[in-house]
């Protein structure tokens, strides 16, 4: 029998552990899915992963334990970001394994069949993904983008005009809550005028995205007494929110991450900078001193 290189043996061990780990991840995700068709597909894929695990276990002569930390991490990702994002992250990892399968197939031809199964997984997953929250991406973008632009600009202007974190946070909170209700109502009326049966859901997604953004941006002013340090943290939070949201959307909906991130960041930070200058002018011209 041809001697198996250590690098190939190491790859097989990695594959074995990966298969049993992904088996548990797919099983966990399937339990949280209400759609019976999607649930059945995930359960089938989970069983395929277990079958692959048993194949590699027979090759190696022992069974590996799953990576419990990875299972926990993906369970958390699935809880916060949904199964579409989670499964696409997992599938991107399987794409990286194609070269390894090809090398292993030189010694164990069964690797070719396993690689085919993984490709089939990807096709099935992409076809099944119809997560409710992704149907309201437009509403989330509307709420998030409006909150980032409007509130970051407002807080930046108030920072120099008032220079008092208590007044800034209070003013920002009142403005943010009023604006979130206004945006949600506008989204509802807009969707209703187009006879959208899910107008209320669209409004809720818009309002929730706005409120969460408001809370994150105002938090520094509530915790830190120095308004200018709070301003810096708030602007950093703006960039972080834009980064996380656009990364999520780019993975889940196959959008161009870099282009969308730079556009939103430029608009939000540009408005904040302009508002900051307006705050300085207002303070100088009107002689406001709080």
Return the closest-CA partner of residue 138 out of 71, 38, 82, 205: 205
Q: Which two tokens stand for residue 220?
A: 């520094």
Report yes or no: 275 and 156 within 8 Å, Cβ to Cβ. yes
Task: Give the model's pLDDT for residue 215.
Answer: 92
Task: Give the model's pLDDT for residue 1.
Answer: 47
Buried b or exposed e, range 53-84, using 16+ CB within 10 angstroms: bebbeebeeeebebbeebbeebeebbeebbbb
Cα separations (Å) of 216 from 151, 170, 172, 185, 241?
Answer: 11, 14, 11, 22, 9
Task: Give the model's pLDDT for residue 65.
Answer: 94
Q: Which residue has the higher pLDDT, 284 or 177?
A: 177
Report yes or no: 219 and 192 within 8 Å, Cβ to Cβ. no
Task: Give the model's pLDDT for residue 152.
Answer: 83
pLDDT at 17 over 50: yes
Measure CA 177 to chain center: 24
Q: Which residue has the higher pLDDT, 212 or 137?
A: 212
pLDDT at 289 over 70: no
pLDDT at 288 over 60: no
Task: Give the model's pLDDT for residue 71.
Answer: 95
For the stretch 149-180, pLDDT in tens is 778 888 888 887 778 899 999 998 998 888 88
Task: Give the model's pLDDT for residue 147.
Answer: 80
Task: Give the model's pLDDT for residue 33.
Answer: 85
Report yes or no: 172 and 216 within 8 Å, Cβ to Cβ. no
Q: Which residue has the higher pLDDT, 135 or 32?
A: 32
pLDDT band of 196, cuts 50, 70, 90: confident
For the stretch 40-56, pLDDT in tens is 888 888 999 999 999 99
Query: What is the value of pTM for the model shown?
Result: 0.70
> Which structural domains are found in the chain, ordered by start?
6-130 (1.20.1260.10), 133-286 (no CATH)
Task: Give the model's pLDDT for residue 82.
Answer: 85
Chain length of the chain: 290
Q: Which two tokens stand for residue 64?
A: 């590996």
Report yes or no: 282 and 161 within 8 Å, Cβ to Cβ. yes
For the stretch 235-281, pLDDT in tens is 899 889 888 888 888 887 777 888 888 888 888 788 777 877 776 77
Q: Which residue has the higher pLDDT, 248 or 289?
A: 248
For the stretch 67-108, pLDDT in tens is 999 999 999 998 888 888 888 888 776 655 777 888 888 888
Task: Give the model's pLDDT for residue 279.
Answer: 67
For the stretch 100-155, pLDDT in tens is 888 888 888 888 888 888 777 767 776 666 676 676 776 677 677 778 877 888 88
d(CA 216, CA 242): 12
Return the closest-CA partner of residue 21 out of 61, 75, 62, 80: 75
d(CA 273, CA 286): 20
CB contact set of 54 (below 8 Å; sequence gap of 6+): none
């Amino acid at each position: 029998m041809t001697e198996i290189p250590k690098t190939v043996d190491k790859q097989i061990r990695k594959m074995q552990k990966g298969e049993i780990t992904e088996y548990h991840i797919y099983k966990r995700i399937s339990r949280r899915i209400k759609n019976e068709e999607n649930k059945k597909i995930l359960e089938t894929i989970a069983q395929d992963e277990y079958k692959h695990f048993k194949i590699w276990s027979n090759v190696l002569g022992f069974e590996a334990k799953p990576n419990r930390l990875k299972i926990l991490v993906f369970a958390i990702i699935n809880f916060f970001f949904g199964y579409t994002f989670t499964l696409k992250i997992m599938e991107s990892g399987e794409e990286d394994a194609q070269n390894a399968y090809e090398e292993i197939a030189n010694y164990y031809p069964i690797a070719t069949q396993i690689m085919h199964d993984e490709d089939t997984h990807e096709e099935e997953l992409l076809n099944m993904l119809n997560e409710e929250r992704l149907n309201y991406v437009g509403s989330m973008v509307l709420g998030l983008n409006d909150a980032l632009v409007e509130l970051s600009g407002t807080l930046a202007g108030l920072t120099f005009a008032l220079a008092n974190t208590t007044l800034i946070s209070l003013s920002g909170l009142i403005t943010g809550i009023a604006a979130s209700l206004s945006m949600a109502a506008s989204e509802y009326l807009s969707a209703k005028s187009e006879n959208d049966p899910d107008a209320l859901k669209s409004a809720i997604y818009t309002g929730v995205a706005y409120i969460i953004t408001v809370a994150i941006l105002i938090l520094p002013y509530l915790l830190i007494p120095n308004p200018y340090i709070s301003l810096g943290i708030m602007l950093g939070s703006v960039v972080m929110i834009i980064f996380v949201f656009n990364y999520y959307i780019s993975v889940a909906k196959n959008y161009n991450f870099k282009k969308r991130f730079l556009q939103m960041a430029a608009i939000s930070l540009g408005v904040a900078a302009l508002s900051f200058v307006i705050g300085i002018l207002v303070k100088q011209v009107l002689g406001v001193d709080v």
